[in-house]
Amino acid sequence: MSEQDARINYTGSYEAEDVLRWSINTFSPSIKIACSFQNLVVVHMALQIDPDITIFAIDTGRLHEETYQCAEDLQRKLGVKIEWFFPKHEAVEPLEREKGLFSFKESVENRQECCHIRKVEPLKRALSDLDAWITGVRREQSTSRAGAGKIEVDHVHGGIVKINPIADWSWDRVQDYVREYDLPYNHLFDRGFLSVGCAPCTRPARAGEEPRAGRWWWEQAEHKECGLHNRNWNI
Measuring CA to CA, which residue among 33, 232, 42 is closest to residue 145? 232
Which residues are within 8 A (CB) of 63 and not within 5 positions of it... i.e. 6 or more apart? Answer: 198, 199
Residue 103 lies in a domain: yes
Residue 116 lies in a domain: yes
pLDDT in the model for residue 7 = 55
pLDDT in the model for residue 230 = 56
Query: Are 105 and 7 contacting, i.e. CB atoms less than 8 angstroms apart?
Result: no
Domain span at 189 = 3-223
- Whole-prediction pTM value? 0.87
Q: What's the number of domains the chain is made of?
A: 1
Residue 234 lies in a domain: no
Query: Are 165 and 16 contacting, i.e. CB atoms less than 8 angstroms apart?
Result: yes
Measuring CA to CA, which residue among 68, 86, 71 is closest to residue 125? 86
Burial class (CB in 10 A: 0-12, 13-18, 19+), 20: buried
> 153 — alpha (psi -120 to 50), left (phi > 0) or beta?
beta
pLDDT in the model for residue 233 = 43
Residue 109 lies in a domain: yes
Average pLDDT, the chain: 88
160-179 pLDDT, tens digit per residue, is: 999 999 999 998 999 999 99
Q: What percent of the chain has pLDDT over 70?
A: 90
115 is catalytic: no
| Catalytic residue of the set 70, 114, 198, 226 | 226
Residue 92 lies in a domain: yes
Query: Are 221 and 195 contacting, i.e. CB atoms less than 8 angstroms apart?
Result: no
Residue 232 lies in a domain: no
Residue 54 lies in a domain: yes
CA distance 223 to 204: 18
CA distance 130 to 85: 15
Which residues are within 8 A (CB) of 29 and not within 5 positions of it... i.e. 6 or more apart? Answer: none
Residue 221 amino acid letter: A
